[in-house]
Amino acid sequence: MIKFLKKNIIIIAMLMISGITLAFAPGKKSDNEKSTSETPVSVMITEDNRLNLVMDSFNTVRFTDVEIPQEEETETAASEEQTVEETETPVEEETQEAAAPSYVIPCTDEDYNNFLKIVEAEATGGDVMSKIMVADVIINRVRSSRFPNTITEVIFQGNGEQFQPVADGRFYSVCVTNGTVEAVQRALYGEDYSMGALFFASNYSVNAGAWHVSALTRLFEYGGHVYFTF
């Protein structure tokens, strides 16, 4: 591109100089006269790409400050595409697997089945909340130093005299409902409304003068049961 521009400018300059030479001629000259009378011209292209035309006669024509444009560098996607690779420090995702929820007390399969039956027998026909509270009393006893350490042992403590359904045999014949399963699960996972109760008795037995009234501290009443602690 630069060579092409230089060549064209030189040609144009030569044509202009030729015109100047003809304009100064006094008359028509022969071909021989033209060849001898034309003023020699030197053409110089400086290092800074400016064209200087100099006539070595009485007329000096200088084309200064004629800047020859530089060829623009065009970047093409094929030749000068730069791929910037972003190096990202891999971020370690700390995937802590959430620990599966655990029961608040140990519970074997035998414990679980006995737990379902005693809650069903003690709170038959009650809502889920009343069944959770009965289950909470069993759990509180397992945790207490005053009672055995497992669900099954708590249920059958004293030859089954702790819970009326065990004593009268209903414990063995109940049909466990979905509400009871839900209540027992929720209690085992820590849902507790018992206020620390370790005993409960039906309203009927309490009104009839059960020993709970005189020997224990009454806490609250819910779902046909009165709850007590020491």
In tens, the pLDDT along 20-56 reads 444 444 444 445 444 444 545 454 545 454 545 444 4
**pTM metric for this prediction:** 0.59
**Mean pLDDT in each 10-residue stretch from start to end of the chain (230 residues)?**
55 56 46 48 50 47 49 52 51 56 97 99 98 99 98 95 95 98 99 98 88 94 97
- What pLDDT, on a 0 to 100 scale, did the predictor assign at position 217? 97
pLDDT of residue 61: 46
Fold of 109-193: Arc Repressor Mutant, subunit A (1.10.10)
Tokens, residue 208: 């009839």
Q: What pLDDT score was predicted for residue 73?
A: 53
Task: Say what the pLDDT of residue 159 is.
Answer: 87
Q: How far apart are CA 114 and CA 99, in angstroms?
A: 27
Give me the residue spans of the domains in the chain: 1-11+36-69, 109-193
